[in-house]
Homo-oligomer: A and B are copies of this chain.
């Protein structure tokens, strides 16, 4: 299933094609592709090159590990995410290794890495659906995540599947077009809420 952005200005094809399906088919992800996804995350930018991201990953080829990771998602996400062949938890390190000071960019930079991972996935015909709806303290307990680290996101990885396999409320989401607020609603200059003069060319 293809769900292109209805963009107002040209953007790279892989950004226009990226979307977050609820339906995944069961086809496993080749290991080489998975490694490239995390390699893409590895080369993301980060404040002071701290690379504050870590990932716990489970594939369906190890059912017990997969169930364990699935149990760290909130119930509403478990329902659809269990169809994905790969699940991951994105973990942020909250302090700089060098001096122990809080890293204000940690969660932001986890997002940079996640986006790189997703971009690489799109390039390989894969889809990624990220979730903030996880159980961080359950993840900490099950995986012995140390203090100073925080489980932030769940990540489902696989091939987009048939929306007809979904319960109705999720099927509707997968079938609905992608929507975004207009550029002029969030691109400001001079003062909050008013477009900068160069952006006044926006329709």
Contacts and interface: CB of A to CB of B under 8 A. Distances in A.
Interface of A: 5, 7-12, 14-16, 18-20, 31-32, 34-36, 38-40, 42-45, 47, 49, 51, 53-59, 61-62, 65, 104-105, 107-112, 114-116, 118-120, 123, 130-132, 143-146, 149, 152-153, 178-181, 183, 186-192, 196-199, 201-202
B130 A45 contact: yes
Copies of this polypeptide in the complex: 2
A39 B108 contact: no
A34 B9 CA distance: 10
Contacts of A120: 11-12, 15
A63 to B, nearest CB: 12
Given A114-B108, A132-B105, A39 B198 contact: no
A51 B7 CA distance: 15
A153 to B, nearest CB: 7
A17 B145 CA distance: 33
29 contacts: A7-B42, A8-B39, A9-B36, A11-B39, A11-B120, A12-B119, A12-B123, A15-B40, A15-B120, A18-B43, A31-B198, A34-B198, A35-B199, A42-B180, A43-B180, A47-B131, A47-B132, A54-B188, A57-B189, A57-B196, A57-B198, A62-B189, A65-B190, A107-B111, A108-B152, A110-B111, A111-B115, A115-B115, A146-B192
